[in-house]
Amino acid sequence: MKIVVIQGPNLNMLGVREQNIYGNMKLEQIHQNMKGFAEQNGLEIEFFQSNLEGEIVDRIQECLGEADGMIINPAALTHNSISIRDAISAVSLPTIEVHLTNIHAREEFRQKSLTAGVCAGVIAGFGPFGYHMAMIAIMQILNEVKALKEQQKAREEAIKAEANQE
């Protein structure tokens, strides 16, 4: 199973910008932790970060047929990007939205997520650990999807076998 992690604007500045809000862990360290978890659990993982909305939309669209699920932190674009919301909806992949801070406890303009409604879930306020939680969540969702597909396939094969006996 392949997971694509998409990081939005200014997340490349983690560990430098506003450490009192976002902490001192760099994005590379977060990705290393996620990579270790992925390897331990037999997942393929890929990382993408951009400060440009169009590049993020392009990367989400590229996930169609390439990835099994996505983890996304749209950062500031969370609150105003209909195009990112539409791209997530269009690819119809299980997606977990992550925020380092609790967006609901921040400035009013940060409290609304336009992208949350098309994601399987949102994890906010746990700092870098939120990405670990997202990995567990996406793995659970993908395992459930896989089990449902296997059950459906078994049912179809049983129906075929029954039809062949008649």
- Identify whether 104 is a catalytic site residue: no
Number of compact structural domains in the chain: 1
pTM: 0.89
166 pLDDT more than 80: no
C-alpha distances in Å from residue 138, one per residue of 95, 123, 148: 7, 12, 15
Q: What is the pLDDT of residues 54-65, one digit of tens each?
A: 999 999 999 999
Q: Which residues form the domain of 24?
A: 2-165
Q: What is the pLDDT of residues 37-87, one digit of tens each?
A: 999 999 999 999 999 999 999 999 999 999 999 999 999 999 989 999 999
Indicate which residue of 99, 104, 131, 132 is catalytic: 99
- Identify whether 131 is a catalytic site residue: no
CATH number at residue 122: 3.40.50.9100
Question: Is residue 98 a contact partner of residue 90, using CB atoms and an 8 Å limit?
Answer: no
